């Protein structure tokens, strides 16, 4: 019999040890995952930070043994308000062949709290382990994002494309290219929520990134800036991307320059930049429904280490059509 209890002072250390065991298992096949989460103490500390930040946490127990832990909270505002179930607050015992029952019990307890807060879009991140894919699909979650990494190393770059590190004077070009990509993500078959930011607001965001230490790489073709790749040193998913290692943020290629090696040149420059600066890994995330991003990143050597899933609830009571 599976029992559901709160993530509290009595259960948090066992939940942290569970997460560390799952992470160590995942990292055997995916060494780019951050080594820090192999430590039960680090995992317990991560869970405590989530508790302190307002996340609700639950643990599934069977005869006192923890089978799974799940945390969640409401996040964002307006149309972008959503339920956040982060990877550093979610884990399953790696020896469970089918964790569906335990996860269904946990989500069945956690989801009503999010619904009561008016949140019907639930995002869940997890490390790449095969049993989780099936179990979470059984719960109605679908893949939304892919987190991927590869070693930092120099590689040959396509001829004809020049790549440089952008400065403060290049931020207008950076914002223009970034806005092109943001608008593309709202088109079919991706259908991301339209981004309401204006060009000036995007420029302000990239100015803040630049001042905060981000590196903007710009690709030039035929004398025009046609490609962007932003290197940051903090990721939105600390359990899925190596801590303190380069993380690829906003990227874009001008539609008229696609198919001419611009993106490949930018990735090569980013991997070389990371290697030259003493880093071991480079990480990225992309939307799995994006018909350009998925084949591009996988084709350029990035290997999945974790996934972001989405479930949109329909609690109107209206029957589904047949």
Give every CB contact of residue 223 below 8 A, 6+ residues apart in sequence.
none
Residue 185's contacts (CB-CB under 8 Å, 6 or more residues apart) are: 192, 195, 287, 290
Residue 155: is its pLDDT beyond 90? no
With pLDDT > 70 as the criterion, what percentage of the chain qualifies?
Answer: 98
Give the pLDDT score at 157: 80
pLDDT of residue 317: 59
3 SS3 class: strand
Cα 52 to Cα 194: distance, rounded to the nearest angstrom: 32
Phi then psi dihedrals of residue 297, to 5 deg: -70, -40
**Per-residue pLDDT, 56:** 98
Q: What is the dihedral of CA 281, 282, 284, 288, to 10 degrees?
A: -70
What average pLDDT does range 23-28 have in this prediction? 97
Which pTM value belongs to this model?
0.94
List the structure tokens of 258: 């696609």
Kind and range of the H or E run holding 48:
helix 40-52
Residue 198: pLDDT over 90? yes
Q: What is the pLDDT of residues 97-153, one digit of tens each?
A: 999 999 999 999 999 999 999 999 999 999 999 999 999 999 999 999 999 999 999
* pLDDT score at 319: 57
If DSSP codes are grouped into helix, strand and coil, which group holds residue 228?
A: strand
Q: How many residues does the chain have?
A: 322
Res. 158 pLDDT band, cuts 50 70 90: confident
Q: Determine the Cα–Cα distance for residues 183 and 79; give it in Å rounded to an integer.
A: 17
Split at pLDDT 50, 70, 90, the class of 20 is very high
Distance CA 238, CA 86 (A): 9
140: which 2 tokens?
A: 């109605």
Looking at residue 77, its pLDDT comes to 87
Does residue 322 surpass a pLDDT of 60? no
Phi-psi sector, 259: left (phi>0), alpha (psi -120 to 50), beta: left
- 């981000």: which residue's tokens? 214
Taking all residues of the chain, what is their mean pLDDT, rounded to a whole number? Answer: 95
- pLDDT the model gives residue 28: 96
Q: Dump pLDDT digits (tens) for 210-256.
A: 999 999 999 999 999 999 999 999 888 999 998 789 999 999 999 99
Cα torsion 296, 297, 301, 303: sign? negative
Q: Is 267 exposed, middle or buried (0-12, 13-18, 19+ CB in 10 A)?
A: buried
| pLDDT, position 318 | 60
* For range 15-25, the mean pLDDT: 98
Instruction: Give the whole-angstrom CA distance, residue 111 versus residue 206.
Output: 35
pLDDT tens across 168-193, in order? 999 999 999 999 999 999 999 999 98
Cβ pair 85, 72 in contact under 8 A: yes
From residue 291, give the alpha-carbon distance in Å to each of 65, 73, 117. 43, 31, 34
Q: Measured between alpha carbons, how far is 218 from 76 in angstroms, rounded to an integer?
A: 31
Residue 320 confidence (pLDDT) above 70:
no
3-state SS, residue 276: helix
> Domains plus CATH for the chain?
2-140 (3.40.630.30), 151-302 (3.40.630.30)
Buried b vs exposed e over 280-312: b needs ≥16 C-beta within 10 Å?
A: bbbbbbbbbbbeebeebbeebbbbbbbbbbbbe
Asked if residue 150 lies in contact with residue 271, where contact means CB atoms within 8 angstroms, the answer is yes
Give the model confidence (pLDDT) of 29-40 as tens digits: 999 999 999 999
Taking only Cα atoms into account, the Rg of the chain, rounded to an integer number of angstroms, comes to: 21
């Amino acid at each position: 019999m599976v029992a559901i209890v709160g993530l509290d002072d009595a259960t948090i250390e066992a939940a942290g040890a569970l997460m560390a065991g799952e992470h160590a298992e995942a990292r055997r096949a995916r060494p780019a995952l951050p080594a820090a989460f192999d430590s039960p103490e680090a995992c317990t500390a991560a869970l405590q930070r989530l508790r302190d930040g307002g996340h609700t946490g639950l643990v599934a127990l069977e005869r006192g043994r923890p089978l799974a832990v799940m945390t969640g909270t409401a996040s964002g505002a307006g149309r972008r308000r959503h339920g956040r179930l982060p990877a550093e607050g979610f884990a399953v015992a790696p020896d469970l062949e089918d964790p569906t029952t335990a996860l269904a019990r946990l989500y069945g307890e956690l989801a009503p709290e999010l619904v009561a807060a008016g949140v019907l879009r639930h995002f869940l991140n997890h490390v790449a382990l095969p049993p989780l894919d099936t179990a979470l699909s059984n719960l109605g979650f679908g893949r939304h994002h892919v987190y991927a990494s590869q070693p930092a190393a120099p590689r040959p770059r396509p001829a004809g494309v020049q790549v440089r590190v952008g400065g403060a004077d290049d931020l207008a070009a950076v914002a223009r290219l970034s806005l092109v990509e943001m608008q593309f993500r709202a088109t079919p078959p991706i259908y991301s929520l339209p981004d309401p930011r204006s060009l000036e607001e995007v420029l302000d965001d990239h100015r803040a990134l630049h001042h905060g230490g981000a590196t903007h790489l710009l690709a030039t073709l035929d004398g025009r800036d046609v490609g962007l790749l932003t290197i940051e040193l903090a990721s939105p998913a600390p359990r899925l991307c190596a801590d303190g290692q380069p993380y690829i943020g906003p990227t874009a290629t001008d539609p008229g320059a696609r198919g001419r090696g611009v993106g490949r040149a930018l990735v090569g420059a980013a991997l070389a930049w990371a290697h030259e600066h003493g880093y071991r890994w480079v990480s990225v995330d992309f939307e799995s429904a994006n018909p350009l991003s998925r084949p591009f990143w996988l084709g350029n050597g990035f290997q999945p280490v974790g996934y972001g899933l989405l479930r949109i609830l329909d609690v109107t009571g209206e029957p589904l059509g047949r």
